[in-house]
Chain A
Amino acid sequence: ETGVTQTPRHLVMGMTNKKSLKCEQHLGHNAMYWYKQSAKKPLELMFVYNFKEQTENNSVPSRFSPECPNSSHLFLHLHTLQPEDSALYLCASSQDITHDYGYTFGSGTRLTVV
């Protein structure tokens, strides 16, 4: 248990479905991140939230919609995805965006779009 919990662990969805990924941390961190890990590619940052405010959107398509209701929870809402969106989606948290140490990842949600 890393302190960052992601649900579900696995998700299969059709291209017309709407689903949400959830991330929760109880480390007292104030920054939370979504990363995408596709096969044979390095991890790519998608979104950053610091004290509930979005500070970065790395040119992510609008079919991915993040939500951060508080510093402990982060969601990624998915709709009308494409097969190329199939990947491992990792959530991470850190003390805040200025601190390096304690950058902790969850176990990820393995998403398959059919």
Chain B
Amino acid sequence: AQKITQTQPGMFVQEKEAVTLDCTYDTSDPSYGLFWYKQPSSGEMIFLIYQGSYDQQNATEGRYSLNFQKARKSANLVISASQLGDSAMYFCAMRERETSGSRLTFGEGTQLTVNP
């Protein structure tokens, strides 16, 4: 079974609008961390936002927020006021502290295109 599922291979959004990128995860580990990364065509993986499994509040970093619904095992990324430079591949990842040590398990990614 896949541990990280990103069901949207591609998403389109108009500049200045908000967009939600979906991520669901599967783990029985009580302690885990969830990450979102942006990968432009240059290849670099850029860290965006992090949510720990015990964090009470949803994480926010500037225009990025994470809609963390623990019972549903979902960790959707919300990008507000989209910009042309947001066009990139977006990856959701998880670290299960007890069962997988230091490794991050990645989803297959969502290609976001921001239209002018």
In the bound complex, do residue B37 and residue A31 qualify as a contact, i.e. CB atoms below 8 Å apart? no
A103 within 8 A of partner (CB):
yes
Q: Which of B20-28, B45-53, B65-73 contacts A (4 or more CB under 8 A)?
A: B45-53
A52 to chain B, nearest CB (A): 15
A58 to chain B, nearest CB (A): 7
In the bound complex, do residue B103 and residue A107 qualify as a contact, i.e. CB atoms below 8 Å apart? no
A100-B33, A101-B50, A105-B37 known; A43-B44 Cβ under 8 A = no
In the bound complex, do residue B44 and residue A108 qualify as a contact, i.e. CB atoms below 8 Å apart? yes
Which parts of B77-116 form the interface with A (CB within 8 Å)?
91, 93, 95, 97, 101-109
Q: How many angstroms from the CA of A66 to the CA of B4 in the assembled complex?
A: 27
Count of A interface residues, CB-CB < 8 Å: 28
A78 within 8 A of partner (CB):
no
Q: How many angstroms from the CA of A104 to the CA of B50 in the assembled complex?
A: 12
B30 within 8 A of partner (CB):
no
Instruction: Provide the B10-35 mask, 1 if CB < 8 A to any CB of A, else 0.
Output: 00000000000000000000000101
Additional 19 contacts, C-beta under 8 A, given A2-B44, A48-B101, A100-B95: A33-B103, A41-B108, A42-B4, A42-B109, A43-B93, A43-B104, A48-B103, A50-B102, A56-B102, A88-B43, A90-B43, A97-B102, A98-B97, A100-B35, A100-B52, A103-B104, A105-B46, A108-B43, A108-B45
Q: Enumerate chain A interface residues (CB-CB to B < 8 A).
A: 2, 31, 33, 40-43, 45, 48, 50, 55-56, 58, 88, 90, 92, 94, 97-98, 100-101, 103-108, 110
Q: Enumerate chain B interface residues (CB-CB to A < 8 A).
A: 4, 33, 35, 37, 42-47, 50, 52, 91, 93, 95, 97, 101-109
